[in-house]
């Protein structure tokens, strides 16, 4: 085994940061709904892929600008997320059963995607895909840069909103102890619907980023689950900055693994990290 050159390693670190940003973006909504609503939304991944396919469709068939698809996807997904939480609240679903229900939902959405868009892999050919910046010896593709920008902006904005606004404080209070918060006049049910809607909308944004940089296939829905869950748990549930930071750590260690050994070994890093985190931090989750 020979060690690759410094440029190659630097490029690997950079692509690790980019993929980590996508982990963080995917993990953001998951972490919020798990940490603050006690709802483990496996369907988050299927939603992201649904968003990615919608972006793909609107861009390649209806010739929209990829970013413009957000105008449709964000409100649509917000409504879906709110509806999902309404159903969960209506049936008083426990955290574990939310995992099962959203597992079923994932399968339904994945089948629908395959039904509409077939199982053939497809790649979006957009104007963004061809733009690359050069940073010294390193290449910085625009789609990846957009992903990083979305991930940092949304994570920081969510963090700031939860920390500095009255709405955010009310949300944190409701997450901590819903009955007590309700006794002090916090409308816990409306806030939960809002939070669930926002989480789903974040999945839509992550979907856009997926469509810009990755080949889409229905079976890919399951490929992201382990690594994103690892990022969410390492980052700490309900902490909006956690998934991004942890995602980048995982992304970099993965791409270094790929650069040094074979690409097929990469899943080992994320899943071993997830197992280690679960064993070490189970008391705190």
Q: Which residues bind another protein (CB under 8 A)?
A: 40, 87, 91, 93, 95-97, 99-101, 103-108, 110-112, 114-115, 222, 225-226, 229-230, 233, 262, 264-265, 267-268, 271-272, 274-275, 278-279, 282-283, 285
Q: In angstroms, what is the minimal distance from the CB of 85 to another protein?
A: 14
DSSP state string for 146-199: HHHHHHHHHHHHHHHHHHHSHHHHHHHHHHH-HHHHHHTT--HHHHHHHHHHHH
Residue 138, φ and ψ in degrees, nearest 5 = -100, 145
For residues 177 and 85, what is the distance between their CA atoms, to the nearest angstrom? 18
Residue nearer to another protein on the CB measure, 22 or 40 = 40
Q: In angstroms, what is the minimal distance from the CB of 272 to another protein?
A: 6
Contact, 220 vs 53, CB < 8 A?
Answer: no
Residue nearer to another protein on the CB measure, 154 or 266 = 266
Buried b (16+ CB within 10 A) or exposed e, 28-57: bbbbbbbbbbbbbbbbbbbbbbbbbbbbbb
Residue nearer to another protein on the CB measure, 92 or 135 = 92
Q: In angstroms, what is the minimal distance from the CB of 104 to another protein?
A: 3
Residue nearer to another protein on the CB measure, 144 or 254 = 254
Q: In angstroms, what is the minimal distance from the CB of 34 to another protein?
A: 9
Residue 263 exposed, middle or buried by CB count within 10 Å (0-12, 13-18, 19+): exposed
Residue 132, φ and ψ in degrees, nearest 5 = -135, 135
Residue nearer to another protein on the CB measure, 168 or 226 = 226
Residue nearer to another protein on the CB measure, 210 or 274 = 274
Q: In angstroms, what is the minimal distance from the CB of 282 to another protein?
A: 5
Q: In angstroms, what is the minimal distance from the CB of 263 to another protein?
A: 10
For residues 172 and 153, what is the distance between their CA atoms, to the nearest angstrom? 20
């Amino acid at each position: 085994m020979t060690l690759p050159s410094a440029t190659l390693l630097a490029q690997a670190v950079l692509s690790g940061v980019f993929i980590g940003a996508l982990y963080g973006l995917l993990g953001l909504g998951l972490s919020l709904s798990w940490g603050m609503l006690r709802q483990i939304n496996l369907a988050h991944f299927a939603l992201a892929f649904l968003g990615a396919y919608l972006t793909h469709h609107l861009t390649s068939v209806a010739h929209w600008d990829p970013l413009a698809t957000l105008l449709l996807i964000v409100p649509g997904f917000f409504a879906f997320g709110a509806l999902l939480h309404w159903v969960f609240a209506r049936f008083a679903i426990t955290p574990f059963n939310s995992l099962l229900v959203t597992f079923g939902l994932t399968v339904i959405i994945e089948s629908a995607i395959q039904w509409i868009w077939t199982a053939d892999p497809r790649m979006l050919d957009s104007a963004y895909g061809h733009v690359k910046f050069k940073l010294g010896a390193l290449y910085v593709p625009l789609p990846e840069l957009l992903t990083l920008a979305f991930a940092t902006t949304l994570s920081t904005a969510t963090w700031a909103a939860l920390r500095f606004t009255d709405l955010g404080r009310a949300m944190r209070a409701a997450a901590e102890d819903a009955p007590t918060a309700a006794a002090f006049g916090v409308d816990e049910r409306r806030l939960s619907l809002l939070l669930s809607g926002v989480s789903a909308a974040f999945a839509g944004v992550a979907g856009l980023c997926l469509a810009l940089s990755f080949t889409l296939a229905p079976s890919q829905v399951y490929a992201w689950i382990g690594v994103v869950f690892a990022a969410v748990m390492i980052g700490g549930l309900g902490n909006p900055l956690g998934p991004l930071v942890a995602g980048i750590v995982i992304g970099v260690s993965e791409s270094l693994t790929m650069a040094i050994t074979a690409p097929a070994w990469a899943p080992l890093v994320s899943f071993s990290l997830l197992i280690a985190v679960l064993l070490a931090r189970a008391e705190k989750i």
